[in-house]
Chains A and B, each alone.
Chain A
Amino acid sequence: MNASAKPMSFPLPSSLKVVPGTERAQAAYPYYTQFTPADDQRFWFYNSMHFPEPMCAFDMVTAEAAYCALGSSSAKVHVIPTTLGIDHRIINGRVYIGGNAVTDPSEIERRVGEFQQRAFYYYANWETLYTQWREKMLKLIDDSRALPKVELPEFEPLEHVHAGRGIASNHFLLDTYQKTLEGYFRMWHHHFEFLLLGYGAYMTFFAFCKKAFPEISDQTVARMVAGMEAEIFRPDDELRRLARRAVELGVDGNFTEGVAADAVMASLRTAGEAGAAWLAELETSRDPWFNINVGDGFYHYHRSWNDDLTMAFSGLPGYIERIKAGDSLERPVDALQAERQQLIADYRELLGSDEERAAYDQMIALAHRVFPYVEGHKFYCEHWYTNLFFNKIREFGELLSKHGFFATTEDVFHLTHFELESAIIDLMNSWSTGGAPHGPHHWPTIIEERKAAIAVWAQHVTPPALGPVPDVIDDPAIVMLWGITREGLETWLTAADGTESKEIKGFAASRGVVEGTARVVKSVQEIDRLRQGDILVCQVTNPTWAPIFQKIGAAVSDIGGSMSHAAIVAREYGLPAVVGTGNATARIRDGQRIRVDGGRGTVTILE
């Protein structure tokens, strides 16, 4: 566009080489995800937001299912005028994505007509369709839970025979696997049924605010729209409830900081009726609210609270202490609600004219209408359903490792979903023929090779983007979901030759200035290392990390934007937070003293 602008380009995909020694692991990813020479003509960026670490072969199913559903929604279902879908490619375990924009004006015009008949219908009937969506989603969850346990008996159970079922158990292995996979692909379609329209309505209001108030922070706009009672807050609310119950039942003494969840549970089992009563309360909270994982649900090892109670239990001693100090721990929903209304009214008053105010009213009404979905879907999709999915795959992992295919259950995630199906068929066959399966000789070396490759790739720095940068990035999906703009890419290009500085920049997520000791936490297993007043430095702060927000002094993350729940939770706790720094976990060493300025979005290394 700008004639004086130099054509911008990142390294071409063809120049990006597979790390030597990992070629076979790379070849495991489906052929349609490998870069081809034609891909040099297009712009790609590394989706570090969703896939910050190299992906195991199986986990790639998430990229596949998600982009398939996203593209369906934008290209075919709602017919978004300016964009089709998003292609993905994998190299060195990293997911690169590129949008397919529509640029021909007459084609855009044609799509506008289609879009308005579809999207406007959704906006107009949002509540009805969303209620319907929740029913669909709960049905899908029920279906998934109803799938039979993955097992192979020595002989077919007698009752099956007497009932004349006529189909042997090995068949149901494949059937269950295919249904598991089908459910996951279906879930992603549900995920995107409203998402782009929801973000679009939000972005409409966002763009208006940015024009009317050029210096307004992203976070402030988010605060005007965000709800207070989204499902995503429930797990933490449940934890507060459990803390209250512990005090009421007089078992609060059983919770001590640093004691593992198992040990606490064991002590409660011997704590008589009160202990049993609390454990019963725990069970009611766990289903469904602990079906929340410690990441975004895109990695099999982001386990749920239910599967690993560490996260949930790490928050309890602090909550209990606060209750005993007289804090009710109730989220001040009414006050937050009133504060939001005040914020909306105050900005409204600042607008230049009544005409602008009328437009503002229309846009924020629509944003409020769509936002419950934007906030609420994650619990059902990325957390609850995804946990069920990965755990079902674990059942296959367990069965296959029992039959000698793998050394451990978790090895199953080093097979692609195609390969896993073949391993299941291998097992089905051998169960019925009585012969030996091939898997035990085939898979272990391959899995070792892939594990080694993941370790190598994790140490390998990958470019943030590839290929020529288009003059205009006008693809609403890319702009909305990833915040990619041409200006942003210019900074990426200049940052590439950046020198070491003591200051790290990110999004100002929650204001306040705090100095303290950095705890670089790379996995949920390290949560226990956090002590009162430490500054959490992590890759992603997720709302599910809320329990530890009460004891840390501030939070810093590599990934995350102003719309992230982490920002909202941090603000509720009055906790300074800087998110989306890109590389804080790499630049800050554990134990260093740092200063977090959540108002400016800066982190300073003090030593």
Chain B
Amino acid sequence: MHSPDYIHWFADVGIADRPRVGGKGGSLGELHRVGINVPPGFVVGTGAFEHCIQALEAQFGIRAQIEALDPDDLAGVSGCTQSIRALVEKAPLPADLLAAIESAHDELSAGRAIHPVAVRSSATTEDAIDASFAGLQDTYLWVQGAADTVSMIRRCWASMYSVESVTYRRRRQLPEAGVAMAVVVQTMVDARTAGVLFTRSPTTGDRSVITVEGAWGLGSAVVGGEVTPDRWVIGKITGEISARDISDKAVQHSPLATGGIEEVPVDPALRSEPCMSDDELQALRAIARKVEKHYGHAQDIEWAVDRHTGTVMLLQSRPETVWSSQDAAPVARAAADPLAHVMAIFGGRR
């Protein structure tokens, strides 16, 4: 049993549920609904966060403490947020909330002794700056067991009370009652290869190509810039692979038996080998097209290939923002006389 207020399975949510499950959670639910392969998981919704903070509020009045802070008083902000973070991470959780999370975790691991998960914060805000200050990019990988999972969820929550985040809210005089956060708990893929892809060219903004970057092991090495990934440019419609830059991939991220991940050297025989086959790239292209079509907007996607099954999976998909915000004048407009278009070729540069 889990409370609908706290736990939301991917199957039950979509992008419209963003206020309750955050962008990341809503997007994973949406992908799941469309039939895209995403590792199973659930979202610890904003209701859970609210429930936890309410309990602390009742005991310690934390919201009033924060609202009283002067954003220019660094020492004051620092001292206050440190103690609040300690409370969020360590104070006893309401029993029903703890039980709901533990029960969801057990359901996800389905009786397996070891079932590593990724714990990621999921922002409800669309403000990217706000999100990054608020530690809403937090990701904890290869987390094992219900207890550790709960700790990581609470660490995500606590990031809402970082110095930067609180200062940011105080400067804008945002009410503490509006603070919300969701956390995604997702089965971890033991990735043979992982990376990112963009359904527009990051360099030219071309909407007809998909740029894929990938490297051996977990995707965190690519996202974190620890390795120069292989890179392919694929025609979105034609499937033509117009660029293949295979790099020397010196390191990879691998799971640690004790939980978490480590950076290890890549097998010398594999370092300069492409980490994706053409068939896998084409599978990725098909998935990317489907996702983009579903959203009607260019996407920025994290993906992984399962080491054991070879399945290509999506870990995350969010709207591309850089080029989309730059699209201005159309390349050309319809002309009253369609023949006038040829003057672009014949009329000289005027």
Taking Cβ atoms with an 8 Å cutoff, the residues of A that contact B are 80-82, 102, 105, 108, 112, 115, 119-120, 123-124, 197, 200-201, 203-204, 207-208, 211-217, 220, 343, 346-347, 350-353, 355-356, 358-363, 365-366, 472, 474, 476, 480, 508, 511, 599-600
B206 to A215, Cβ gap below 8 A? yes
Q: Which of A105, A115, A359 has the most CB of B within 10 A?
A: A359
The verdict on B177 contacting chain A, using a C-beta distance below 8 Å, is no
Bound Cα distance A356, B328 (Å): 12
Whole-angstrom distance from the CB of B283 to the nearest CB of chain A?
A: 17
A474 to B349, Cβ gap below 8 A? yes
Whole-angstrom distance from the CB of B199 to the nearest CB of chain A?
A: 10
A-B contact count (CB 8 A): 129
**Given known A123-B339, A599-B241, contact A217–B235 (CB-CB < 8 A):** yes
B330 to A356, Cβ gap below 8 A? yes
C-beta contact mask, B155-189 vs A, less than 8 Å → 1, else 0? 00000000000000000000000000000000000
**Given known A346-B237, A350-B236, contact A215–B346 (CB-CB < 8 A):** no
A214 to B338, Cβ gap below 8 A? no
Bound Cα distance A119, B343 (Å): 11
**Given known A213-B207, A215-B201, A343-B237, contact A358–B348 (CB-CB < 8 A):** no
B240 to A123, Cβ gap below 8 A? no
A511 to B240, Cβ gap below 8 A? yes
The verdict on B204 contacting chain A, using a C-beta distance below 8 Å, is yes
C-beta contact mask, B136-156 vs A, less than 8 Å → 1, else 0? 000000000000000000000
Whole-angstrom distance from the CB of A95 to the nearest CB of chain B?
A: 25
A211 to B331, Cβ gap below 8 A? yes
Bound Cα distance A343, B335 (Å): 24
Bound Cα distance A343, B238 (Å): 8
C-beta contact mask, B236-271 vs A, less than 8 Å → 1, else 0? 111011111000000000000000000000000000
A359's partner among B238, B244, B330 (CB-CB below 8 A) is B330
> Which B residues touch A201, using CB under 8 A?
342
What secondary structure prevails in chain B residues at the interface with A?
Answer: loop
B348 to A81, Cβ gap below 8 A? yes
The verdict on B208 contacting chain A, using a C-beta distance below 8 Å, is yes
The verdict on B344 contacting chain A, using a C-beta distance below 8 Å, is yes
The verdict on B233 contacting chain A, using a C-beta distance below 8 Å, is yes
Taking Cβ atoms with an 8 Å cutoff, the residues of B that contact A are 201, 204-209, 233, 235-238, 240-244, 327, 330-335, 337-339, 341-350
B332 to A80, Cβ gap below 8 A? no
What secondary structure prevails in chain A residues at the interface with B?
Answer: helix
B334 to A347, Cβ gap below 8 A? no
Given contacts A343-B237, A358-B333, 17 further A-B contacts (CB under 8 A): A207-B345, A211-B331, A213-B207, A215-B201, A215-B206, A215-B209, A217-B240, A217-B242, A343-B238, A356-B331, A362-B335, A363-B332, A366-B341, A474-B348, A476-B346, A508-B242, A599-B240
* Residue contacts A-B, CB under 8 angstroms, 24 given: A80-B346, A81-B348, A105-B350, A120-B337, A197-B342, A204-B345, A207-B345, A208-B341, A208-B344, A213-B208, A215-B201, A220-B235, A220-B238, A346-B237, A352-B327, A356-B330, A358-B333, A359-B331, A359-B334, A360-B332, A362-B341, A480-B345, A600-B242, A600-B244
Whole-angstrom distance from the CB of B330 to the nearest CB of chain A?
A: 4
Bound Cα distance A208, B341 (Å): 10
Bound Cα distance A599, B235 (Å): 11
Bound Cα distance A201, B338 (Å): 11
Bound Cα distance A101, B331 (Å): 27
A355 to B334, Cβ gap below 8 A? yes
> Which A residues touch B205, using CB under 8 A?
214
Bound Cα distance A317, B346 (Å): 48
> Which B residues touch A220, using CB under 8 A?
235, 237-238, 240
**Given known A356-B332, A359-B332, A508-B240, contact A213–B206 (CB-CB < 8 A):** yes
Whole-angstrom distance from the CB of A1 to the nearest CB of chain B?
A: 10
> Which A residues touch B339, using CB under 8 A?
120, 123-124, 366
Whole-angstrom distance from the CB of B347 to the nearest CB of chain A?
A: 6
> Which A residues touch B330, using CB under 8 A?
352-353, 355-356, 359
A215 to B342, Cβ gap below 8 A? no
Bound Cα distance A212, B349 (Å): 19
Whole-angstrom distance from the CB of B8 to the nearest CB of chain A?
A: 33
Bound Cα distance A402, B189 (Å): 85
A203's partner among B233, B238, B345, B350 (CB-CB below 8 A) is B345
B208 to A365, Cβ gap below 8 A? no
Bound Cα distance A108, B350 (Å): 10
Bound Cα distance A472, B350 (Å): 13
For residue B199, which residue of chain A has the nearest CB? A350
> Which B residues touch A217, using CB under 8 A?
235, 238, 240, 242
Whole-angstrom distance from the CB of A551 to the nearest CB of chain B?
A: 25
> Which A residues touch B236, using CB under 8 A?
350
> Which A residues touch B335, using CB under 8 A?
359, 362
Q: Which 4 A-B pairs have the closest CB atoms?
A: A358-B334, A362-B338, A359-B332, A214-B204
> Which A residues touch B348, using CB under 8 A?
81-82, 102, 108, 474
B338 to A365, Cβ gap below 8 A? yes
**Given known A119-B346, A362-B335, contact A204–B206 (CB-CB < 8 A):** no
Q: Which of A82, A108, A204, A360 has the most CB of B within 10 A?
A: A204
For residue B243, which residue of chain A has the nearest CB? A600
Bound Cα distance A112, B344 (Å): 12
Whole-angstrom distance from the CB of B93 to the nearest CB of chain A?
A: 48
A115 to B333, Cβ gap below 8 A? no
Bound Cα distance A271, B28 (Å): 72
Whole-angstrom distance from the CB of A96 to the nearest CB of chain B?
A: 25
B346 to A115, Cβ gap below 8 A? yes
> Which B residues touch A476, using CB under 8 A?
345-346
> Which B residues touch A207, using CB under 8 A?
344-345
> Which B residues touch A600, using CB under 8 A?
241-244
> Which B residues touch A124, using CB under 8 A?
339
A82 to B332, Cβ gap below 8 A? no
For residue A511, which residue of chain B has the nearest CB? B240
Bound Cα distance A362, B332 (Å): 11
Bound Cα distance A80, B342 (Å): 11
> Which A residues touch B244, using CB under 8 A?
600
> Which B residues touch A197, using CB under 8 A?
342
A347 to B341, Cβ gap below 8 A? no
For residue B204, which residue of chain A has the nearest CB? A214
**Given known A220-B235, A474-B349, A600-B241, contact A363–B333 (CB-CB < 8 A):** no
For residue B209, which residue of chain A has the nearest CB? A215
**Given known A220-B238, A358-B334, contact A123–B342 (CB-CB < 8 A):** yes
> Which A residues touch B237, using CB under 8 A?
220, 343, 346-347, 350
Whole-angstrom distance from the CB of B211 to the nearest CB of chain A?
A: 9
B240 to A214, Cβ gap below 8 A? no
Bound Cα distance A352, B338 (Å): 20
**Given known A599-B241, A600-B244, contact A216–B206 (CB-CB < 8 A):** yes
Q: Which of B201, B341, B346, B350 has the most CB of A within 10 A?
A: B346
> Which B residues touch A215, using CB under 8 A?
201, 204, 206, 208-209, 233, 242
Whole-angstrom distance from the CB of A208 to the nearest CB of chain B?
A: 6
A214 to B342, Cβ gap below 8 A? no
